[in-house]
Amino acid sequence: MLDDAWSTKPATDLAAAIRAKEIKSRELLELYLARIERLNGGINAVVTIAADRALAEADAADARTARGAELPPLHGLPTTIKDAIETEGIRSTGGAVELRDHVPAADAPAVARLRDAGAIVFGKTNLPRWSGDMQSYNEIFGTTNNPWDHSRIPGGSSGGAAAAVAAGLTSFELGTDIGGSVRLPSHCCGTFALKPTFGVVPQRGYLDSVGGGSTDADINVFGPIARSAADLDLLMSVLAGPEPARAAAWRIELPPPGPPTLAGRRIAVWLDDPVAETDRELLGLLRNAADAVASAGAIVTEVRPPVDPAEQIGLFSKLIGPAISVSLGDHADAVAGSHAAWLRNDRARATLQSTWARWFEDYDALLTPVMPLPAFEHLQDGEPGTRTLTVNGVQRPYIDAVFWTGMFGVLYLPVAVAPIGQTAGGIPVGMQVVAPYLRDRDAIAIAGALGDVTRGYRVPPGC
């Protein structure tokens, strides 16, 4: 069997090693299955495994490699998928008991693209019910723990996904993000992630309710979680594209990134705000990261953009309700509001989008926190609306955890996350790289450079 060190290498390195016949796809898959057997009991990230089918696909991939055939970009890479995303022939529950035995007849388009690019789907990862929390637990599969500290959350809703990537249980992951659901877990677990520009990656096959997946949800995106920014770029080269029904006429060609280094890049930083005060230790780590970016030659400006953050996060709150209302059963109508109200809020969003577009004419990216505090201890008592978090000794509403992610998700902007270091207690933290509309590759490139000048991805102790 392969050495454990292979399990935590970036997907780009793994793909290159398979192409070079340095390792085999089956060996890598067997390594992940063995690590899941050994490590997953304490983390509970992977909740469904389809090993037999995946092993057969890995053998077929190795045979193709041996023949010297042309190989697709993700050839032979074993991967898991967030359980909110439909996977053909593999149980997909959305974390809800209503779909406990749901086995889709077809892949979500994004999953189909991964498979067409050579990836081998061998399992599903945990999440909260209908992806509706910043923690990851549900009645079917229980609680997912942070691989760095099992008493803490891995984030949500793609918490199982980020925990599996961080712990070396998969090559990479595909998650979803409507309020921060690939970004919060990457901050908590120390991985890279991208929330793409809204609409760049198809989100059909998203299980946010019984019968869900046939239409799009406002704000929601599918995005990759990985161990390097290069992995994010590789995955986006596969994932980006129109819905299948539009592919006959539409194309998506994301603009290329700017320079690969930080030198000369115009970087704005916004690290704290009275609306959602940042934990002091986290703020110190964020400032250190901003200083490292400046030392690398970037033109760094600490600036408050010309918006009212309370107004912007308030708009997120107004628009997220209709977007998630299908998940709420009998309470859906009360949360959804009227279509006229949605249209008014959508117009307000358009005004803010124009404000940000003008502001980004002077900056290549904005660096912000992902969450106002590091990963906190499991907090499952009561309802999300009644929970509180302690930040700098002050009780804050639980919803403050999505202040920084919600603000930019509602505007459809691309946002990457890079791990930048650890607290004194050894908990990883990340930083958001917000880029202009459709500048996903810039967000990825700057996140990669940010990871290079800070800590980047590190393997959790014991993994």
Catalytic residues: 82, 157, 181
Q: Is 19 exposed, middle or buried (0-12, 13-18, 19+ CB in 10 A)?
A: middle
- CA–CA gap between residue 81 and residue 197 (Å, rounded): 20
**CB-CB contact of 177 with 186 (8 Å):** no
Residues whose CB is less than 8 angstroms from the CB of residue 125 and which lie 6 or more positions away in sequence, other chains included: 45, 46, 47, 80, 81, 82, 83, 144, 158, 160, 161, 163, 164, 170, 173
3-state secondary structure of 138: strand
Q: Can you give the length of the chain in residues?
A: 463
H-assigned helices in 86-157 = 109-116
What's the distance, CA 224 to chain centroid? 6
- CA–CA gap between residue 197 and residue 77 (Å, rounded): 25
Residues whose CB is less than 8 angstroms from the CB of residue 223 and which lie 6 or more positions away in sequence, other chains included: 174, 175, 176, 177, 182, 193, 194, 195, 196, 201
What's the distance, CA 208 to chain centroid? 17
Cross-strand pairs, 124: 48, 81
Place of tokens 């406990």: 100
